[in-house]
Amino acid sequence: MALANDENKDLIERDLIYSIWNQHAVVDAAIGTIIDYGSKDRRKDRDSYAEMWKRWYYDDYYRSYLVPLEKYGLKVPHDVVEDAWRRISDDFYHHHVAQFFATGWPVNYWRIDPMTEEDFEWFEDKYPGWYDKFGKWWEHYSTLSEPNGHKPIAFENSGYVYPHRCWSCMVPCLIREDTVMDYVDGQWRTYCHKWCHWQDTVAYREEYKGRPTPAMGKMTGKREWETLYHGWDLADIVHDLGYVRDDGKTLVPQPHVQFDQSKMWTTDNVKGIEFQSPNILLNEMSDEEREKHMEEYKQGFTINSSL
């Protein structure tokens, strides 16, 4: 087997780290949000995503399957698994993702409806402390869900700071204090965690620990989606994306699931709003401004009590 040959060990160890971390960063973001937020089943005995993760990933896959492979010489990256688990259990990872998905509704092909009291109770029961972190923002989301002369929530002053995007996993840097900023391949990049920083700067490179790794590929191109629309008018973006219905003006995405035409957002409601790329802005800053900006970013934000 692969482990019988010593020269494979470094690469297997590297592959385990980036596959475990990347699966966590991307899959837990999407599936965690769908399972916890995309349900109307608020029975308290229904497992939350964190409870499922603990049972199926941590106890079953990690402790029952992966850890026993150590006796064959495999070096299991325990700290990577623990960091992933901590992001889910302590740092509200996929809750930040759900908030971000809902924030970005005008430029995504989905509809996320406002939450109810029953939803709030379920989240607080499953994730103690949830309301203090997210409740007020979801109340603002509800207030702003029908077009009444205001802008979409991302462009209103809720206190939320639109996030930088992680260059490696391409999920934004949502656990703000974990954000890593670095100058890599001629540009300033942001990463959601030290393991994502490691992926771009160490794992996906032409060599690993002195050994050529030409097949690893590279994280190049426009990895921050917002870069493509920096400075555009929001109405032009939704047209360009094809997110406009057959009448030529009603948006496909809506921040609610009501079907009354008078409650639908149209391009008229988003015209004149300028869209910006956090990464382009970051690269345009002076060194001093950038350091200060990142220091503030890592401190997080406070949601305003009223809009």
Binding site for Zn ion (CB under 5 A): 25, 166, 168-169, 192, 196
Round to whole Å and give the CA distance between 153 and 274: 14
By C-beta, is 175 or 270 nearer to Zn ion? Answer: 175
- State the nearest-atom distance from the C-beta of 14 to Zn ion, in Å: 17
Biggest alpha carbon–alpha carbon distance for the chain? 67
Which residue's entry shows tokens 């205001």? 150
- State the nearest-atom distance from the C-beta of 191 to Zn ion, in Å: 6
By C-beta, is 18 or 62 nearer to Zn ion? Answer: 18
What's the distance, Cα to Cα, between the start and end of the chain in Å? 61
**DSSP state, residue 181:** E
Sequence length of the chain is 307
DSSP string, 62-84: IIIIIGGGGGGT----HHHHHHH
> Looking at 67-191, which runs of residues are DSSP E strands?
180-184, 187-191
- State the nearest-atom distance from the C-beta of 18 to Zn ion, in Å: 11
- State the nearest-atom distance from the C-beta of 174 to Zn ion, in Å: 9
**Tokens (6 digits) for 176:** 């703000």
By C-beta, is 84 or 115 nearer to Zn ion? Answer: 84
Q: 207: which strand partners?
A: 212
- State the nearest-atom distance from the C-beta of 167 to Zn ion, in Å: 8
Chain CA centroid to CA 120, Å = 21
By C-beta, is 179 or 269 nearer to Zn ion? Answer: 179
Containing 211, the helix (H) or strand (E) segment is strand 211-212
* Residue 272: count of CB within 10 angstroms of its CB: 10
Residues 6+ apart with CB under 8 A from 103: 153, 154, 160, 162
By C-beta, is 141 or 195 nearer to Zn ion? Answer: 195
- State the nearest-atom distance from the C-beta of 194 to Zn ion, in Å: 10
By C-beta, is 185 or 268 nearer to Zn ion? Answer: 185
- State the nearest-atom distance from the C-beta of 201 to Zn ion, in Å: 13
**Quick one: which of 122, 124, 13 has its CA closest to 69?**
13
By C-beta, is 196 or 270 nearer to Zn ion? Answer: 196
**DSSP state, residue 209:** T
